[in-house]
Amino acid sequence: MSERVLEVKDLSVAFGHHKNGEPATRPVQVTDRINFHIDDGEFFALVGESGCGKSVTAMAILRLLPTPSAKVVAGSVLLRREGGEPVDLTKISLKEMQKVRGSEIACIFQEPMQALNPVLTIKRQLLEVFKFCNRHCDDPMAAIRNLLTQAGFKDIDRVLDSYPHELSGGMLQRICIVMALLPKPKLIIADEPTTALDVTVQAQVLAVLKELAATTGTAVLLITHNMGIVSQYAERMAVMYAGRIVEMGATKEVIGSPMHPYTRGLLAAIPESHEDLGTLRSIPGQVPHARDFVQGCRFADRCEFCDKPCLTAEVPPCVKVGTHEAHCFKI
């Protein structure tokens, strides 16, 4: 049985704290009791429209939330560390957390150009990974060449001698994937890794991420607003809306028989799933701002199935069918 790499439990983040950690008059809670886990080598996706709290959740896991304003106000982030029991990343020292980042959990962000140093060659930057991670490698150059080959690069010497501005966005993002995998992390967090790229290279970059993670046994937390991407690459997924997870399960269950109206709305908006673009539908309205979040169903004002029982101040109940679950009054 595969083991759990990461377990996020009841994680809530709020903005609006002072330097001393005390909340301002009205702190704004942007995520509400987020629960999910990722197993060894699993490709897990967190999907939802912009502003749902996906990046805040990733930043909370990595302890990269903007301070002092943002704070984890409840919950835990359990990471299984080498040979030991899971540790709560929200509780360890920042020094210890620096060891976790890069070596045990690596990240890939939207803009590869911002992740790379413009004045250093790719070779130098890839070699520097070994200086800062706590993993020994007998032959760093061989490891780099091996991963670059697996990432689809042909003229490796030219790539190694290039500066970032000499390569395309798709090539740079594939280099960021190689860089993230060099220290052999257990988990990669990829936050919208292809959003800034041309549509034509998006699939290539995601295929490289999926393949390299599979061959190295690394788990992936992919964050995206694109349901089409999730359906193609993720094994399990969670759908987030207005700071809460509203549906979660194996991708084939969630996509094949979605339970939550929001998930159905996101699926109806994927162009590829419709032969006739006339049937393509968007969800009316938009994600509310966090300061307007209600305790009851936050999707109610956009939901075509909204009925009287949905308008209470109760959090929608969790309905489970095996490992597939959704939070809604009308399932």
Ligand X SMILES: Nc1ncnc2c1ncn2[C@@H]1O[C@H](COP(=O)(O)OP(=O)(O)O)[C@@H](O)[C@H]1O
Q: Cβ contacts of residue 90 below 8 Å, gap of 6+?
A: 60, 63, 72, 75, 76, 77
* Residue 56 touching ligand X (CB under 6 A): yes
Total of residues contacting ligand X (CB under 6 A): 14
Give which of 97, 230, 110 is closest to 169, Cα–Cα: 110
Q: What one-character DSSP code corresponds to residue 182?
A: T
Q: Which of 2, 50, 215, 286 binds ligand X (CB under 6 A)?
A: 50
CB of 193 to ligand X, least distance (A): 13
Strands 105-108 and 187-191 turn out to be parallel
Query: Are the C-beta atoms of residues 74 and 12 closer than 8 Å to each other?
Result: yes
* Residue 47 touching ligand X (CB under 6 A): no
Q: Which of 4-12, 52-60, 76-84, 299-307 is the region at the interface with ligand SF4 (rule: CB under 6 A)?
A: 299-307
* Residue 329 touching ligand SF4 (CB under 6 A): yes
Query: Are the C-beta atoms of residues 263 and 326 closer than 8 Å to each other?
Result: yes
Choose the contact partner of 305 out of ligand SF4, ligand X, Mg ion, none; CB within 5 to 8 A by kind: ligand SF4
Binding to Mg ion in span 136-175, by CB under 5 A: none
Query: Are the C-beta atoms of residues 185 and 129 closer than 8 Å to each other?
Result: no
Cα–Cα distance for residue pair 5/153, rounded to 1 Å = 30
Query: Closest CB to ligand X belongs to which residue?
Result: 55
Cα–Cα distance for residue pair 27/17, rounded to 1 Å = 7
Q: Which of 31, 55, 173, 251 binds Mg ion (CB under 5 A)?
A: 55
Q: Which of 8, 12, 41, 51 binds ligand X (CB under 6 A)?
A: 51
CB of 289 to ligand X, least distance (A): 6
Cα–Cα distance for residue pair 304/162, rounded to 1 Å = 53
Q: What are phi and psi of 249, to 5 degrees?
A: 165, -170
Q: Report the residue number, 129 or 222, with the smaller CB distance to ligand X.
A: 222
Cα–Cα distance for residue pair 316/328, rounded to 1 Å = 5
Q: Which of 6, 32, 54, 265 binds ligand X (CB under 6 A)?
A: 54
Q: Report the residue number, 12 or 55, with the smaller CB distance to Mg ion.
A: 55
Site string for ligand X, 60-99 (x = CB under 6 A): ------x--x------------------------------
Tokens 């939330």, located at residue:
65
Give which of 29, 27, 21, 88 is closest to 61, Cα–Cα: 88
Give which of 331, 330, 319, 329 is closest to 248, Cα–Cα: 319
CB of 16 to ligand X, least distance (A): 8
* Residue 31 touching Mg ion (CB under 5 A): no
Which residues of this chain interact with ligand SF4, rule CB under 6 A?
Answer: 261, 297, 299-300, 303, 305-306, 310, 316, 328-330
Which residues of this chain interact with ligand X, rule CB under 6 A?
Answer: 15, 30, 48, 50-56, 66, 69, 289-290
